[in-house]
Amino acid sequence: MQISPSILAADFANLEQELRRVSNADWAHVDVMDAHFVPNLTLGLPVVEALLRVSPIPLDAHLMIEDPDRWAPLYAEAGCQSVTFHIEAARHPRRLARTLRAAGARACMALKPETSFTPYEPLLADLDMVLVMTVEPGFGGQSFMVDQMPKVRQVREAIKRHGGEIWVQVDGGVSATTIEQCAEAGADVFVAGSAVYGAEDAAAAIEELRALVSTHVH
């Protein structure tokens, strides 16, 4: 059970300090948005390269961008240990996943809330993680979509059939009140933004989330 705080909820003027606040987490989740695939603009490769130089924990880059076939490998090459592309934007997802792995990153496919997992189940052989979005991608602080739990369950069951160690990540509205539902449905990597960075003690918030899901095993 891994906790990946989203720096989308952090203070962008003090990102090095904000990464230190979550140094007990498993990952730092970095939301890259291009104002095309989603209606928001956050940060890109130069900022991610700077974060890689100072982060005490590995970076999990979530690319909410158009043309990930072209751009995603650059994040892997820069040193992000996990790179997530959106299946809705990828033209050649299998080739892209293999390219990410060859560059040393974990390859992850993300699904928007309205995107069905079923057509993409055959890609599992080339993936290390599947991200089920529990909000519409684009902005932090949105409410959790409980109607995505059946999809999380579906992904977990497909992984059991397929075999191999593939993680299931949830991102959006994950907090102390929703994280257990996600774990019960089959998630094992939890992206939390406001729930961690909105707390006075971010490290304690991470430990609280971890404790809530520590008894769940998939």
State the CATH number of the domain containing residue 88: 3.20.20.70
Q: Known catalytic residues?
A: 31, 171
| Inside any domain, residue 218 | no
Closest CA to 6 of 92, 74, 64, 72: 64
| Inside any domain, residue 83 | yes
| Inside any domain, residue 62 | yes
The gap between the terminal CA atoms of the chain, to the nearest Å, is 10
| Inside any domain, residue 8 | yes
Closest CA to 5 of 173, 191, 171, 132: 191
- Tens-level pLDDT at each residue, the chain (218 residues): 999 999 999 999 999 999 999 999 999 999 999 999 999 999 999 999 999 999 999 999 999 999 999 999 999 999 999 999 999 999 999 999 999 999 999 999 999 999 999 999 999 999 999 999 999 987 777 789 999 999 999 999 999 999 889 999 999 999 999 999 999 999 999 999 999 999 999 999 999 999 999 988 76
b/e map 194-203, b = 16+ CB within 10 Å: bbbbebeebb
| Inside any domain, residue 202 | yes
Prediction pTM value? 0.96
Domain that holds residue 188: 2-213
Q: In the chain, how many domains are there?
A: 1
| Inside any domain, residue 92 | yes
| Inside any domain, residue 176 | yes
